[in-house]
Copies of this chain bind each other. A is one copy, B any other.
Amino acid sequence: MSPLRIWLVGFGTVGRWLASALDSQAERLGSRYGFAVRVVGIANARDGFAYRADGLDLAAALAAAAAGRPIGAQRGARTWPSAIEGLRATEADLLVEVTASPPADGEPGLAHMREALRRGIPVATSNKWPVALRGAELAALARERGTQFRAESTVMSGTPVLSTLTEGLAGAVPVALRGVLNATANAILSQMASGMSYERALADAQRAGLAERDPAADVEGPDTTAKLMILSALVFGRQLRRDQVACTGITGVTGEQARQAASAGQRIRHVATLALAGPAGTGAVTARVQPEAVPAGDLLAGIDGVNNAVVCRASPVGEITVIGPGAGPQLAGQGVLSDVIAIARHRAMRS
């Protein structure tokens, strides 16, 4: 079978990890999963879109990106000023969208994904906000065009949760969900159980490279909100607007509160909750993100440090829990790689 031709839009940490994994693991992917890939397009915000129909030189593109040279400066590559122009002008079998679009409108990531799906080309993405804002629309568009829309790494990075709750539980009806979805906030709250102040736990997390200098996205809740919106759209088929998620961050939690909870056998966790009213979850959706004192017997109490967890209640199964690391660039890359393999396997079966 001909190689899977990939557009790789986004060439930051995740995109480069993926390019280098596809390059170095080509033999294993071939023998284990029966397919070969050819990255025909690469784009980033600085250099625009580079394309070569018989495959770009990944090692050269990685070296260029590392040295701050244009990624398209290689033999035989054609270039366009922006990703969307390049996508419109060229052909591929898969769009890997690993940029990070802003919460306001999810653009330009959303436009990239719509362009591919409309043409029946599958999409694998780690780009949270386009999926949070328009996941239900993107999934419906993919179904309508007989192709796949996959976003595994948007929720728990390399820990498989979307595929588990949709494909693994196919046939069951999900009715409610709780989770701890942000590694940084959870690491900070885990530290605070000993009575450490929020400020000091945050500073520790920043020193460890676990929190950004501006930690708002992680500690005030928008990142968790986006992930809850993604779960709602892709697992429950319910598109939420951001203002439908009641969100309180962890910045108001004191070390004393965390210590008191711990001494009572509880743990304060930043809990995301989704509940569907009515029979078989056909009614209104309630969605919230807030710090909660979780009792010792609750699985979420045992989720420490950078681990994340989702507990999903489904009919007729009951409660299914998935736990795993929720952050890390190579883990996000691994999540995208699992999506690429799922898409390649479908393509192999089809041919």
Contacts and interface: CB of A to CB of B under 8 A. Distances in A.
A159 B317 contact: yes
Interface stretch (A61-69, A184-192, A330-338): A330-338
Contact of A322 (B167, B322, B331, B346): B322
B171 A152 contact: no
Interface residues on A, range: 35 or more
A340 B170 CA distance: 9
A29 B173 CA distance: 11
A112 B43 CA distance: 50
A302 to B, nearest CB: 6
A323 B320 contact: yes
Contact of A341 (B170, B317, B348): B170
A53 interface: no
Given A320-B324, A350-B350, A158 B172 contact: yes
A160 interface: yes
A280 to B, nearest CB: 10
Contact of A160 (B21, B159, B164, B348): B164
Interface of A: 21, 25, 29, 33-34, 143, 146, 152, 158-160, 163-164, 167-172, 297, 299, 302, 316-325, 330-331, 334, 337-338, 340-342, 346, 348-350
7 contacts: A158-B169, A158-B172, A163-B167, A167-B167, A169-B338, A170-B337, A297-B302
